[in-house]
Amino acid sequence: MHKSSNFNYLFNATLSAIAIILAVTPANALPEQNIDTVVKWAKTRPQLPTLRYNSEAHGYEGTKGKLYFYADVTSENGTVTKEGITVSGDSSLKFTTKNAKAVKLLQNIYNSNIGNDFQKSRYVTKVGRDQYSRGQKFAYITAEVQGGSSFQIIPLNKLQGFIDNAKYCQTNQCDI
């Protein structure tokens, strides 16, 4: 009987430790999380650069090879409002739902849930060069930019606000 109670104690302690690790360490860092979480997460992703704070851009950013990654924040240690990836110099990678290379990159950086959510997202509208899509978990903004392709992930509940702001900025001077 003593051995079984030791086993149960060890088993429960191990399960508790795993639960704590899973709760503290996110599988991915996404908009509406704290920037500290995103910066720590980015360090675990071999495709991503080291992120540094840029006060002019109001966020964290970095470049690694042909990939530029950024996370906009409400303040230096605040909440992430959106994240973006731009890949330049690779004409075969375009952030579209039909481009397998782009979807694979998103799966590798985030996870298959995000890659699949983007792939299955529905086109909403286009404002200027930006195309807006609605997934089940997040909303996405994609664009072809000079020399590359751009992808942004935003909270689903903020999609209309981003669209409205983009429309407003087409006819008014906005601080970008």
Domain ranges of the chain: 29-171
0.75 surpassed by pTM: yes
Per-residue pLDDT, 176: 56
Point out the residues of the chain with pLDDT beneath 50. Answer: 7, 11, 13-26
Q: Which residues of 18-38 are buried (b: 16+ CB within 10 A; e: fewer)?
A: eeeeeeeeeebbbbebebebb
Helix axes 112-119, 100-109, angle to 10 degrees: 150
| Consecutive H or E run containing 106 | helix 100-109
Place of tokens 């795993």: 18
Q: Which residues have a Cβ under 8 Å from the Cβ of 52 and sit 6 or more positions away? A: 60, 61, 62
